[in-house]
Amino acid sequence: MAITDTLDTYSASALEPFEATLPLLPLKNVVILPKSIIPIIVGRDMSIRAVEHALKMDRLLFVTSQKDQDVESPTLNDVFTFGTKAIILQDPVRMPNGALKILVESIGRAKVEQIYESNNFLHALYVDVPSANADDSIKLHALWRQLRKTYLAYTKLDERAPANLIDNIQTPTEIDHVTDTIAVHSSLTFQERQSILETADLHERMLQLCTLIEKEVDILETEQRIRGRIQHQVEKGQREYYLQEQMKAIHKELGKEDQSAEIEELRAKAKKLKLPEDAFKQVEKELRRLEQMPPLSSEASVSRHYVDWILSLPWHTMTKDTISIKQAQHILDTHHAGLSKVKERIIEFLAAKKFSKTLDRSPVLCLAGPPGVGKTSLVKSISESMGREFVRISLGGVRDEAEIRGHRRTYIGALPGKIIQAMRKARSKNPVILLDEIDKMSRDAHGDPAAALLEVLDPEQNKTFTDHFLDVDYDLSKVMFIATANVIENIPYPLFDRLEIINISGYTESEKLAIARQFLIPRNLQEHSLNDAQFTISDELLKHIIDVYTKEAGVRQLERIITKLMRKTIQELLQDKKKKSVEITSELLLEWLGHSHFKKTSLNTKGHHIGVATGLAWTEIGGDVLEIETSILTGKGNVTLTGQLGDVMQESAHAAISYIRSRAKELDIKGSFHTNRDTHIHIPEGATPKDGPSAGITMCVALISALTKNPTRNDVTMTGEITLQGRVLAIGGLKEKLLAAKQYNFSTVIIPQENEDDLKDVRKEIDLGSLNIVLASTMEDVLAVAFKKNPLQKEVRNIKKVTRKKTTSKAPQ
Ligand SMILES: Nc1ncnc2c1ncn2[C@@H]1O[C@H](COP(=O)(O)OP(=O)(O)OP(=O)(O)O)[C@@H](O)[C@H]1O
Ligand SMILES: [Mg+2]
């Protein structure tokens, strides 16, 4: 509006005819368009003088731009022909450097024709250039509308451009002036402005301006789009950055910062371990879940627990086998005395393994025998001689499949089964795993642990063993499993079928003595920091201990007593400083150990031996003797069995009675004894349950003795199953039974003929000394040895008597 106002104020004088000459003010870098007001700093002396001159006159100047900015005293060729007449609006302000600051308003186009210098400043000879085509025409209005629209669009993009400039403009003169003003407010280049200045034709000028502004609008719009995009990107980046920072802060607050580091660590470890593909996938899945969970939640600890387990298992690590047969033999010998047959089998097994590297399908060894005979310690020695890791799994009391195979990990506190736990302990893929006490497993409603073990031991299946907790396959095919058992009969059959049983029977007294001398005493002396001069014990006393204070097949109790004696010795040495050593005597033994807890089965060796027979029994702790007593009382034919006899033993008793009835005549027994006599069979130590068929012949001998009043031999003992026909069948546990017979100083033992081969084996293992062994295939054979007088011989004797009578009667003839 200000421009329009000034326009009105000066229009009267502006249209007046001027002198054709005006002081020239050449400008550098600036084009002044008509109707614009601008401040100008006038620095050149020549120009200052021109301004001063104009001020003295009518304040008018001719203003034009220099073509070359560096020229100081321009000539006509150095300036643009088109310029404007301008009026100085205010009194100039002198600047400290002597320059003048003036405000001028351009009032119309003019063209310089001549330049000359006088009074030390330049003068321009000029002509006015009025606007052409500035009539009230349709084209003008059309052009105006276009220009207006374009400018309006422009003002929206450039807020410095005043939008009210174009309000209420109607007349051609107004349009003419506003067109120039628009040019002033649009950001045109120096050249473009000069071009607008030089276009006096209004139509032409408006068109040109339209094009220029449109171009500018285009540029501005593009610029805006670009700016928008940049801003969007910057904003997006900023937003993400901000959110990440916020997340970090939240994690830190929740204590998750450590967790992220921990997760990364676990991930790196999983990569390094080269886990099998499905295990790796499971770990990755759990880790991703873990990232989403609050670190202290129970789910997080379940996940972490799982990943820890997977990462702690040996997936590829293997130890190198060092099977040297010589070394293996040496290691077995340094840890165990005797057991030559067992060691031989083990060496055989190791040799086969060494010979064929692919012998992963070899049967699983099972060392079977009574407690304390060195099964567990032998397996340890096997692993040592192979240079493999050793882990023991105790199966005693396991009755749930999950104990072998683990619980599903969805349960809180779930763990892998014993097998996988053992693998973690082993830290290698090929350890020796001892399945200890495989016969002590039981089963309940939660599945059969033996069935799970089957998979573990089966070379076809154990390559891909699945533990419920791990939920991924684990390869057990490189593991060497060895089992131990006390009672083979208690091993579930399918398992038994896969085992190669090596029997270790109990030790004889002399073997025990040797073990004590060579192993137990030296080892325990060392453990108690005693030397062999400080603690001495004679072989006789050791034998006495074995005999009286222990009742076992192995040497565990013996070892316990030896350590007890050593502790007492230490106490003695500490109490009496002058004492340097302790020699164990029988008095000391009685003082320190008291009387034996184990009473030897007391045998009725004195008195008459009618209705009594001694049998041999096999128990888990070795062989023992059983004294069977019978009595025949007047009654109604009842049979009473006492002494906690099991079913099988009771049936044996009935079989014996039936046999006797069938042979009553030969035995000279009244055939009606089973109807008018009560039979009572008792086996002492009544509180101990007894079972098995092997007391059959003994019960039969005792009954015959009672019925015939014929005493049995008290130096004879026996074992064997009886049939109704009187055949004697094979029994088990021969070695232990013979050991017991020897221990109780029997002179003769009757055993079934069917056990002849076993006897040969036993003879190889133990020295039976003077023990007389009778092989019996029928009851007749038994009766011939068991009695002082063979009850069957009665008949024979009678017949002989008769024959002799006959002969004597014949003789006189
Ligand atoms: N022949 C032997 N030589 C040396 N020491 C032996 C011998 N037999 C057993 N021992 C020792 O007897 C102890 C008991 O042995 P171990 O524990 O191996 O018996 P086990 O047969 O596994 O018994 P259980 O059936 O009760 O588990 C160990 O200290 C062992 O060293
Ligand atoms: Mg053991």
Same domain, yes or no: 44 and 113: yes
At residue 693, what is the residue type? Answer: P
Q: Please give the average per-residue pLDDT across 728-736, as a whole number.
A: 89
If asked whether residues 395 and 481 sit together in one domain, one would say: yes
Shared domain for 554 and 673, answered yes or no, is no
The stretch 341-355 carries a mean pLDDT of: 83
**For the CA of 367, the nearest ligand:** 1
Q: Which atom of ligand 1 is nearest to 519's Cα?
A: 4
Residue 263 main-chain phi, psi, to 5 deg = -60, -45
Residue 698, in any domain of the structure? yes
Percent of the chain with pLDDT over 70: 91
Q: Kindly give the number of the ligand 1 atom that is closest to the alpha carbon of 336.
A: 3
Q: In this predicted structure, what is the pLDDT of residue 246?
A: 81
126/19 Cα distance (integer angstroms): 9
Q: Which of 479, 503, 527 is the last residue of a domain?
A: 503
Domain boundary pick from 537, 561, 593? 593
* Confidence grade of residue 6 (pLDDT, cut at 50, 70, 90): very low
Mutate to test the pocket of ligand 1, among 377, 490, 557 (most ligand atoms within 8 A of CB): 377
Question: Domain for residue 137, yes or no?
Answer: no
For residues 583 and 557, membership in a common domain is answered with yes
Closest to 404 in 3D by CA, of 435, 431, 429: 435
The predicted pLDDT at position 3 comes to 37
Judge if 549 and 648 occupy the same domain: no
Measured in Å, residue 84 CA sits from the centre of ligand 1 at 125
Over range 210-228, report the average pLDDT: 89
Interval 56-84 mean pLDDT: 90
Ligand that comes closest to the CA of residue 515: 1
Q: How confident is the model at residue 358 (pLDDT cuts 50, 70, 90)?
A: low
Q: Is residue 150 part of a domain?
A: no
What band does 11 get if pLDDT is binned at 50, 70 and 90? very low
| Residue 610 predicted with pLDDT over 80 | yes
Nearest atom in ligand 1 to 555's CA: 12
> Which protein residue has the closest C-alpha to ligand 1 atom 24?
371
Strands 60-65 and 21-27: parallel
Indicate if 519 and 486 belong to the same structural domain: no
pLDDT at 702 > cutoff 90: yes
* Closest residue by CA, ligand 1 atom 9: 374
Confidence at 804, pLDDT banded by 50, 70, 90: very low
Residue 487 to residues 438, 496, 618, Cα–Cα distance (Å)? 9, 11, 11
User: Final residue of a domain: which of 128, 163, 193?
Assistant: 128
434 or 349: which leads in pLDDT: 434
Q: What percent of the chain has pLDDT over 90?
A: 32
* 343 within some domain: yes
Q: In angstroms, rounded to a whole number, what is the distance separating the alpha carbons of residues 339 and 351?
A: 18
Residue 808 has pLDDT above 70, yes or no: no
The pLDDT value given to residue 599: 60
Q: Which of 519, 557, 621 to mutate to test the pocket of ligand 1 (most atoms within 8 A of CB)?
A: 519
Which is higher by pLDDT, 213 or 246? 213
pLDDT tens digits, 370-397: 888 999 999 999 888 888 999 999 998 8
The number of domains in the chain is: 5
> Which of the residue ranges 11-25, 180-194, 441-455, 714-728 would you say has the lowest mean pLDDT?
11-25
Ligand nearest to the CA of 368: 1
Report the range of poorest mean pLDDT among 303-317, 604-618, 693-707: 604-618
Same domain, 308 and 342: no
Local structure of 296: helix, strand or coil? coil
Q: Whose CA is nearest to atom 15 of ligand 1?
A: 374
Residues with CB under 5 A from ligand 2 (ion): 376
Integer Cα distance of 416 and 405 in angstroms: 7
Q: Whose CA is nearest to atom 16 of ligand 1?
A: 374
User: What average pLDDT does the segment 492-503 reach?
Assistant: 88
Report the range out of 171-175, 630-634, 774-778 with the highest average pLDDT: 774-778
Element (H or E) spanning 248, and its range?
A: helix 202-254
Mean pLDDT of all residues in 69-84? 89
**Residue 642 and residue 759 share a domain:** yes
Which residue's alpha carbon is at the smallest distance from atom 4 of ligand 1? 336
What is the whole-number distance in angstroms between the Cα of residue 335 and the centre of ligand 1? 10
Concerning whether 56 is annotated as a catalytic residue, the answer is no
**260 a catalytic residue:** no
| Gap from CA of 597 to ligand 1 centroid (Å) | 22
Is 317 part of any domain?
A: no
Query: Are 498 and 524 members of one domain?
Result: no
CA distances from 611 to 435, 517, 534, 629, 793 (A): 47, 43, 53, 6, 18
Please report which helix (H) or strand (E) contains residue 382, including its range. Answer: helix 375-386
- Give the residue-averaged pLDDT of 642-665: 87
Q: How far is CA 769 from the centre of its chain?
A: 59
Identify the CATH number of the domain in which residue 490 sits: 3.40.50.300
Q: Whose CA is nearest to atom 25 of ligand 1?
A: 371
b/e map of 369-380 (b: 16 or more CB within 10 Å)?
bbbbbbbbebbb
CATH number of residue 631's parent domain: 3.30.230.10
| Phi, psi dihedral angles at 480 (to 5 degrees) | -105, 115
Q: Which of 439, 556, 765, 766 to mutate to test the pocket of ligand 1 (most atoms within 8 A of CB)?
A: 556
Q: pLDDT at residue 195 above 90? A: yes
Residue 227 to residues 137, 158, 230, 238, Cα–Cα distance (Å): 42, 14, 5, 16
Residue ranges around ligand 1 (CB below 6 Å): 336-339, 371-377, 484, 486, 515, 519, 554-556, 559
Residue 720 has pLDDT above 60, yes or no: yes
Best-predicted range by mean pLDDT (11-20, 297-306, 698-707): 698-707
Q: How far is the CA of 537 from the centre of ligand 2 (A)?
A: 28
Token pair listed for 535: 């603690």
Query: How many angstroms is it from 374 CA to the middle of ligand 2?
Result: 7
Test site for ligand 1: of 342, 343, 376, 526, most ligand atoms within 8 A of the Cβ:
376
pLDDT band at 236 (very low <50, low <70, confident <90, very high): confident
Out of 694, 705, 735, 742, which one is annotated catalytic?
694
**Is pLDDT at 801 greater than 50 in this prediction?**
no
Taking the centre of ligand 2 as the mean of its atom positions, its distance from the CA of residue 313, in whole angstroms, is 26
Lowest mean pLDDT among 32-41, 145-154, 592-601: 592-601
Evaluate whether residue 708 is within a structural domain. yes
How much is the pLDDT for 360? 58
* Confidence (pLDDT) at 165: 81
The active-site residue out of 551, 735, 737, 742 is 737
Q: Do residues 300 and 279 share a domain?
A: yes
CA of 369 to the centre of ligand 2 (A): 10
For ligand 2, the distance from its centroid to the CA atom of residue 371, given in whole angstroms, is: 7
pLDDT at 527 over 50: yes
How many residues belong to the chain?
813
Whether residue 690 is found in the same domain as residue 751: yes
Q: Output the pLDDT for position 473.
A: 92
Give the pLDDT score at 161.
Answer: 85
Q: Which residue has the higher pLDDT, 412 or 41?
A: 41
Asked whether 45 and 7 are in contact (CB, 8 A), the reply is no
pLDDT tens for residues 454-492?
Answer: 888 888 888 899 999 999 999 998 898 999 998 888 888
Residues 442 and 366 in one domain: yes
Does residue 165 fall inside a structural domain? no
Is residue 249 one of the residues assigned to a domain? no
Which three-class secondary structure string do you get for 509-568?
HHHHHHHHHHHHHHHHHHHCCCCCCCEECCHHHHHHHHHHHCCCCCCHHHHHHHHHHHHH
Contacts of 122 (CB under 8 A, 6+ apart): 23, 24, 26, 46, 50, 73, 74, 115, 116
Mean pLDDT over residues 253-265, rounded?
A: 75
Mean pLDDT of the chain: 85
Instruction: Locate the ligand 1 atom nearest the alpha carbon of residue 511 and give its number.
Output: 1
Here the contacts of 576-582 (C-beta below 8 Å, separation 24 or greater) are 580/533, 580/534, 581/533, 581/534, 581/535, 581/536, 582/534, 582/535, 582/536
Query: Containing domain of residue 515, as a range?
Result: 509-593
Q: At 111, which CATH number?
A: 2.30.130.40
How many Å apart are CA 154 and CA 156, to the nearest integer?
A: 5
